[in-house]
């Protein structure tokens, strides 16, 4: 199923997105490396209307206006509303996981359920965004970089801008204000971590379970930080089950599950 490119005006930005599929809408917010479609997007588009946004500053247009993560989350809520979406599932990857959490806290009426893929909202002290050569980045984000196709080249100027934007917006490793508000989330939340994540240690997962009332945890075996890219079938199996079954979610009473 081919993704189609579109644009929406929101909060003074011309925001690019890729869309495919039919069914319940699923909005995706990417990580610090920008919008990269992978096999998981294709699989999800067989069950959902997938809308993958490119957040302002992560494409060809520079973003010097957004001051912090809450502001970026508010912009993305306006982008979703600009497409006529009234309520939808929301998924955030890594950096986008923090944006998605803030989005859900700011606009709970829009979000039906929330999926966090290797979220970077609660980070170990001193963690830096991945940077360096493509080989060095691959070693950080994948458990088995040798099995992955080469990452598409990124224009060095764009890569530098994205890295600077990420560092400017990301906020503290532990944000007491954000963590203190997570107890107010009333929607179901699924947090998915790779057992071999080289950026966000899987041990951070328990904090989401402790802080969010209706939180479910799944650990994907032998996956690194880029879970959906490295183990798309396993990722989509659990995400699809969570979004479609709601209260009957198979992992609803289990603290952790390892997918083979």
Helical packing angle, 69-82 and 95-106, nearest 10°: 70
- Interior angle at CA 51, CA 67 and CA 230, nearest 5: 90
pLDDT of residue 249: 64
* 78 Cβ neighbours under 8 A, 6+ residues apart: 10, 11
Please give the radius of gyration of the chain, using alpha carbons only, rounded to the nearest integer.
Answer: 17
Q: Of 139, 180, 34, 49, nearest to 93 (Cα)? A: 34
∠ CA(157), CA(101), CA(235), 5° rounding? 80
The pLDDT value recorded for residue 225 is 96
> What's the CATH fold of domain 4-259?
Rossmann fold (3.40.50)
Q: Where are the domains of the chain?
A: 4-259
Between 80-84, 145-149, 246-250, 255-259, the lowest mean confidence (pLDDT) is in 255-259
pLDDT band at 253 (very low <50, low <70, confident <90, very high): very low
More confident residue, 42 or 257: 42
Q: How far apart are CA 182 and CA 121, in angstroms?
A: 11
In the prediction, which pLDDT does 257 show?
A: 52
Q: Would you place residue 157 in the very low, low, confident or very high pLDDT band (cuts 50, 70, 90)?
A: very high
More confidently predicted of 258 and 97: 97
Report CA torsion sign: 57, 61, 67, 69.
negative
pTM for the model stands at 0.93
**pLDDT value, residue 170:** 93
- Tens digits of per-residue pLDDT, 67-78? 999 999 999 999
Mean pLDDT value of segment 37-50: 97
DSSP SS3 for 5? strand
Q: Measure CA 25 to chain center.
A: 15
* Average pLDDT value for residue range 143-160: 87
Q: What is the pLDDT of residues 44-88, one digit of tens each?
A: 999 999 999 999 999 988 999 999 999 999 999 999 999 999 999
DSSP 3-state assignment of 93?
strand
């Amino acid at each position: 199923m081919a993704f189609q490119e579109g644009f929406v005006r929101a909060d003074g930005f011309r925001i690019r997105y890729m869309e495919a599929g039919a069914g319940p809408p699923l909005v995706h917010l990417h990580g610090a490396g920008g919008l990269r479609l992978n096999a998981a997007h294709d699989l999800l588009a067989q069950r959902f209307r997938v809308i993958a946004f490119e957040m302002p500053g992560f494409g060809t247009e520079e973003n010097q206006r957004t001051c912090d993560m809450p502001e970026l989350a508010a912009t993305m809520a306006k982008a979703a509303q600009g497409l006529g979406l009234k309520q939808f599932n929301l998924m955030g990857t890594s950096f986008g996981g923090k944006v998605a959490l803030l989005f859900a806290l700011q606009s709970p009426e829009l979000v039906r359920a929330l999926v966090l893929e290797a979220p970077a909202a609660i980070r170990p002290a001193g963690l830096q965004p991945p940077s360096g050569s493509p080989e060095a980045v691959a070693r950080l984000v994948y458990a088995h970089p040798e099995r992955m196709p080469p990452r598409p080249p990124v224009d060095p100027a764009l890569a530098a801008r994205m890295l600077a934007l990420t560092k400017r917006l990301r906020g503290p490793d532990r944000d007491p204000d954000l963590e203190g508000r997570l107890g107010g989330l009333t929607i179901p939340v699924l947090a998915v971590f790779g057992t071999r994540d080289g950026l966000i240690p899987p041990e951070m997962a328990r904090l989401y379970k402790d802080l969010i009332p209706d939180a479910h945890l799944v650990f994907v075996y032998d996956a690194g930080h880029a879970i959906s890219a490295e183990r798309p079938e396993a990722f989509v199996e659990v995400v699809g089950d969570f979004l479609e079954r709601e209260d009957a979610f198979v992992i609803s009473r289990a603290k952790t599950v390892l997918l083979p």
